[in-house]
Amino acid sequence: MSERRYGSRQEGATLLVVLVMLVVLTLFAVAVINLSNMNARAVGNMQQRKNAEMAAQSAIEQVLSTSANFYSPAAAITVAGLPTGMTATVSNRVCLGATPATGYSLAQQLVPEDDYWDFQVTVTDSVSGAATVVHQGAKIRMLANNCPL
């Protein structure tokens, strides 16, 4: 039997190659975990923003459902009935203009007007820190001369 001995230059080369591959795979796994964590944070932030936008839309619907909110536009309105930790304030209700409503005769005593309003809703969430500002426009039929230009 003849024994064959490899040269000293090749001893441990396999171990070195395996260690390098292990380091590369470990770095790849760490990068994938970091990427998935960032994606989870981004999705969570987007969900909180959408929740704040839905709360703002709810506040808009509450304001639009009561015409008295447009007879005193200077006062800010705090909206109730939002999820825990969320507050919504409707401010800056501004009448942009008014036009006589169609289908009515000017000979009548009271001719309604179509008033064009712009208002701003600010929603803040104390739990997540999310905040959003939504501007909304609306056309509301009101009695004449109720648009404080």
Domain that holds residue 25: 8-142
Note whether residue 2 is domain-resident: no
Q: Which of 123, 130, 124, 144 is nearest to 45 (CA)?
A: 130
Provide the number of structural domains found in the chain.
1
Spatial distance between the Cα atoms of 115 and 101, rounded to a whole number of angstroms: 9
| pLDDT surpassing 70 at residue 1 | no
- Residue 76 in any domain: the answer is yes
- Residue 115 inside a domain? The answer is yes
Tell me if residue 77 falls in helix, strand or coil: strand
Beta strands in the chain (DSSP E): 77-79, 86-100, 113-125, 131-142
Whether 147 maps to a domain, the answer reads: no
Kindly state whether residue 116 falls inside one of the protein's structural domains. Answer: yes
Does any domain span residue 149? no
- 3-state secondary structure (DSSP) of residue 69: helix
CA 57 to chain centre: 11
Task: State pLDDT tens for residues 87-106.
Answer: 888 887 888 998 888 887 76
pLDDT at 17: 92
Token pair of 131 as six digits: 């905040």
Total-model pTM: 0.68
> Would 63 be classed as within a structural domain?
yes
What values do phi and psi take at 65, rounded to 5? -75, -10
Quick: pLDDT tens for 121-140. 999 888 888 888 999 899 98
In a domain, 1, yes or no: no
Structure token pair of residue 55: 């709360």
Task: Supply the DSSP symbol for 139.
Answer: E
